[in-house]
């Protein structure tokens, strides 16, 4: 979204990304890189990142390398949909709109390649600020391309694995933390049942009720 540089420009060297990876590891954590094009994805892989965000121009060769190296991809779709929708309010220039629009079809095809090659796909939205209640749209956008079940697994089990919490989050199992939501439909048939905040009826966080729409009371 920067105003003058082309989408195809490569903006970090492998050495720079590797320095970030080295420092992150010394803190016991890891690096995500936000990248759209193949050269930037390969630079990120050369440098040892744990996760690639967007991955718009994914092809089979890049996907196979990602799988072989145990790296995750977070397609991160919501932010560009939101920016295109709110283009005037957000003050977006024609050049920026052209960049956003050029990505739309490419990234849907990229996600199909990821599914086909078995890439570990997690979930994130790039949404910041006062619109956090739109995070569910990430499910909607993803499900439209790869189906409801894959979108749900990405947002739960695979994301728990990405963040190193597979032992206590991501699936409903004895011994895991009881973070659960009840919704008014089956998201395998109707993804909006989970994507739309108004349809979430009941929220358990760490085994405690933090939202109960059914009785309009909540305890924390």
Nearest residue to Zn ion, using CB?
34
Residues in the chain: 220
Minimum distance from residue 217 beta carbon to Zn ion (Å): 38
Q: Which is nearer to Zn ion, 56 or 62 (CB)?
A: 56
| CB-CB contact of 191 with 151 (8 Å) | yes
Applying CB under 5 A, the residues found at the interface with Zn ion are: 34, 53, 126
CA atoms of 125 and 107, how far apart (whole Å) = 14
Q: Which is nearer to Zn ion, 82 or 126 (CB)?
A: 126
Minimum distance from residue 63 beta carbon to Zn ion (Å): 19
Minimum distance from residue 154 beta carbon to Zn ion (Å): 16
Q: Which is nearer to Zn ion, 53 or 57 (CB)?
A: 53
CA atoms of 111 and 54, how far apart (whole Å) = 9
Q: Which is nearer to Zn ion, 76 or 183 (CB)?
A: 76
Strand 200-205 vs strand 208-212: parallel, antiparallel, or unpaired? Answer: antiparallel
Nearest to 154 by CA among 165, 172, 168, 139: 139
Q: Which is nearer to Zn ion, 7 or 181 (CB)?
A: 7
Compute CA 44 distance to the chain's CA centroid, rounded to the nearest angstrom: 17
Total Cβ atoms within 10 A of residue 71: 20
Minimum distance from residue 16 beta carbon to Zn ion (Å): 17
Minimum distance from residue 51 beta carbon to Zn ion (Å): 11
């Amino acid at each position: 979204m920067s105003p003058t540089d082309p989408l195809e420009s490569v903006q970090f060297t492998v050495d720079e990304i590797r320095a970030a990876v080295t420092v992150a590891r010394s803190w016991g954590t890891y690096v995500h890189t936000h990248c759209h094009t193949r050269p930037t994805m390969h630079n990120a892989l050369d440098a040892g990142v744990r996760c690639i965000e967007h991955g718009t121009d994914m092809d089979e060769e890049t996907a196979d390398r990602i799988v072989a190296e145990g790296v995750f991809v977070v397609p991160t779709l919501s932010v560009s949909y939101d920016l295109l929708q709110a283009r005037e309010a957000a003050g977006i220039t024609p050049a920026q709109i052209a960049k956003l629009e050029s990505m739309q079809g490419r990234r849907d095809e990229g996600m199909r390649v990821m599914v086909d090659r078995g890439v570990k796909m997690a979930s994130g939205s790039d949404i910041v600020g006062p619109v956090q209640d739109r995070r569910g749209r990430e499910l909607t956008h993803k499900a439209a391309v790869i189906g409801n079940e894959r979108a749900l697994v990405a947002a739960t089990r695979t994301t728990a694995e990405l963040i190193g919490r597979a032992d206590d989050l991501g699936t409903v199992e004895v011994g895991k933390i009881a973070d659960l939501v009840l919704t008014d439909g089956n998201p395998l048939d109707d993804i909006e049942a989970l994507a739309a905040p108004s349809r979430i009826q009941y929220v358990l966080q760490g085994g405690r009720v933090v939202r109960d729409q059914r009785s309009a009371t909540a305890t924390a």
